[in-house]
Structure 1
């Protein structure tokens, strides 16, 4: 069914979507413990319906905007950045949504500020109100993040004096800064890769997963991706050493970004540098950045050992699912190897991810940014833990360097499905909550359908 789409319609529809997300989050979001509503309460139920109603509106606005981007007169990158700012605005003061990780960030920052070893102890060692906000499964878990992020979290803790509302706002502003860096980097990477800058912004920055999880969820993946993107832009320029510094800082937020360092080397070689000097200068810049960031954070090098931080036993990563199924089968057979099933599958997954990275880099040697995007997707899918926003590790760079429209279509479909994958409170779903979530989504589809029918209906006195 054909219908006219204008930029202002997309702006209004997406704004309505994020407004419903923010309003629904007031009772159904990842609220501070003292403000949590009982899941069965009317307010929480209405909030959950409202959040999924908003997700449908936002996703529809994004898809309509994609139609404009592919049309004969696509919006300019500047116009798309204004759309991003408009859609993100209602989420800035909303409670955390879809995850309680931001409370872990605040607790770990307070620990670092108090000179506690965040790589040896979990937030339970901190105690107090912040530790109570951390999800129970993570209270005894050491920080899995690098010193660059912990230095930021520590500084924020000092500024906010441990006050939760101020800390939440600070973390969201930090995530928003990361999204801004992503938006700055995307058009530039697209031009270097021969891709469409507007299409790159649409898929990589206006993606519902960015708004739901990086802005509303305030995840530090935003900073990792923003620094990684900016580093790759710098690696294309006259000062490639700055690229190595920025990519290293991204890896010192979350370690998957370290895969960007070989891409920095590859880009330097393509620009005319000899291989050995390119490798040595990139390694030297990365090592110096690591030493400096670790010294500033004051956390020591415990972050290297913390890379093995255990994952949730109920994680739905592919290797975790296979490990649990194998363990259950071995238990039924009476084998004593059952406890080794999950670790064994995790190791197999990491080995498969390493092979996928090497094969991708070899096959797509001429398109290193695109190869990096696919490699990060492989790491997210085959790693021991996965969350919906992990898909953004790869989608961000696929958006910047995808070789054609079909790749973007498949990436958009993946993003649309993952946008519906997590409840706004961040916890596991019960049947009643699933019914409410589906009801909110169906309501959104019905309202959109009726609005489209009304838009197509002939107006008396107007030529058909």
Structure 2
């Protein structure tokens, strides 16, 4: 007999994982400058070990919960939502983890509130303590986010008056709202796609990447995905225009969500002939354009967000095209070629061409269901785009979880999620050898604890008494 597994034990194990995450983050997270501890300090060391101890416990709880979901008596979606709430609770008041992007969000909101053009200037233009919290690489960088997110950030800035603790809590509550919308949309999309709602929630909402990066990291991808999910639910039902509006608002948070408009057209016109396809295409385009104009006018930030889509990526970004561009550029530089500066842009352009080809193949040749096709398309955008972050995987994963036709696809996606959950340090800074060793130590310690629990749960073989 193996480790005894049921919903309650999975819930408790995941809660222990996120509790260790929150405690470790107090000294090893993406802390404000005045709370920053030297990486070699005892508190920072213990915090880093604790965070990765918690990450491994959370992954283990999630994997075990997957077995329960696939078992003979799977939990209901309602009970899984309770598990999600329990796992997320310790992270609510934790410091930012795995990224410093939330500080950029707050600075950009303050810039809009101060009538500074965020599409022309970086946070350095704002100055002051809030701007100082932004990572140096982004100090001079204009925002790539759309007007809807900037309105949200600006309102939060006005409400919190630039106070950092209140602003961080506000951004996390906004991210939690996005996760709640994702969780509400997943079972409905799964039923429409012929998938298991409980399995969709397990993979798409209880996924460690959601908890680590959307909740603990407070990334605005949560708002984008939440609006996209409820928009698709509305579009497949009796409110197609509302669906278009919501999906357009999602795209005005982060641009990749605009692909959801293709899914709306496919949902409304599937199998109905070219005339119906044309009519729905025109209706969708008109509603999306009107929403864009209205939202941009209401935000008052102008159309600079279109040009800001070209915002440069981090020089150390590990997307395939950026990595190949750097390697090619270094090789050309060693050869003394004057083409070295063009290597990175060339590979980024090649990535865009590959993405376009994949999108055409998915929609015109592969032709899966619209929701699944959208998930595959967003996954292609994330992988072959100029920038890759672990939480970008959630763009496609969210919809693949809702509509994947086979268990093998879900298994591969789950395995990739578990690996990606281990790839970023809680401070959001680049890793060095010492930090990697500490992180691995925390993970190994968690595995030892789990193994000991497994051994303790095994029934002991009876000892036969010797007969005289």
What range describes the TM-score normalised by the shorter chain of this pair?
A: over 0.9
RMSD: 1.3
The aligned residue for residue 398 of structure 1 is 400
Provide runs of 4+ in structure 1 moved above 2 Å: 1-4, 270-273, 363-366, 457-461
The aligned residue for residue 24 of structure 2 is 24
The aligned residue for residue 324 of structure 1 is 326
Q: What secondary structure is seen at the aligned counterpart in 2 of 1:274?
A: helix
Matches within 5 A, 1:73-92: 73-92=73-92
The aligned residue for residue 268 of structure 1 is 268
Q: Does 1:227 align with 2:227?
A: yes
Q: Distance in 2 between matches of 1:366 and 1:218?
A: 32
Counterpart of 2:458 (choices 448, 456, 459) is 456
Q: Distance in 2 between matches of 1:103 and 1:287?
A: 31
The aligned residue for residue 409 of structure 2 is 407
The aligned residue for residue 153 of structure 2 is 153
Matches within 5 A, 1:136-151: 136-151=136-151
CA drift at 1:238: 1.1
Matches within 5 A, 1:276-425: 276-425=278-427
CA drift at 1:365: 2.5
Matches within 5 A, 1:163-182: 163-182=163-182
Residues 44-75 of structure 1: per-residue CA shift (max 9 Å, x gap): 00000000000000000000000000000000
Q: Does 1:445 align with 2:447?
A: yes
The aligned residue for residue 93 of structure 1 is 93
Residues 96-140 of structure 1: per-residue CA shift (max 9 Å, x gap): 000000000000000011111000000000000111000000010
Q: Distance in 1 between matches of 2:176 and 2:388?
A: 22
The aligned residue for residue 206 of structure 2 is 206
Q: Is the Cα–Cα contact under 8 Å of residues 145 and 253 in structure 2 kept in the other structure?
A: yes
Q: Distance in 2 between matches of 1:165 and 1:297?
A: 25
Q: Distance in 2 between matches of 1:16 and 1:269?
A: 47
Residues 350-409 of structure 1: per-residue CA shift (max 9 Å, x gap): 110111111011234341110110111111110000000000000000000000110000
CA drift at 1:271: 8.3
Long gaps (5+) in structure 2: 464-468
Change (3 A) 1:338 1:207: same
The aligned residue for residue 56 of structure 1 is 56
TM-score (norm 2): 0.97
The aligned residue for residue 428 of structure 1 is 430
Pairs aligned (count) = 461
CA drift at 1:270: 2.7
Q: What secondary structure is seen at the aligned counterpart in 2 of 1:4?
A: coil
Q: Is the Cα–Cα contact under 8 Å of residues 2 and 457 in structure 2 kept in the other structure?
A: no
Q: What secondary structure is seen at the aligned counterpart in 1 of 2:386?
A: coil
Q: What secondary structure is seen at the aligned counterpart in 2 of 1:46?
A: helix
Q: Does 1:106 align with 2:80?
A: no
Q: Distance in 2 between matches of 1:170 and 1:459?
A: 55
Q: Distance in 2 between matches of 1:16 and 1:334?
A: 55
Q: Distance in 1 between matches of 2:41 and 2:235?
A: 53
Change (3 A) 1:459 1:214: farther
CA drift at 1:460: 8.5
Residues 326-357 of structure 1: per-residue CA shift (max 9 Å, x gap): 00110111100001101110010011011111
Change (3 A) 1:459 1:164: farther
Residues 136-190 of structure 1: per-residue CA shift (max 9 Å, x gap): 0001000000000000000000000000000000000000000000000000000
Q: What secondary structure is seen at the aligned counterpart in 1 of 2:27?
A: helix
Q: Distance in 1 between matches of 2:262 and 2:242?
A: 14
Q: Distance in 1 between matches of 2:410 and 2:396?
A: 12
Change (3 A) 1:450 1:260: same
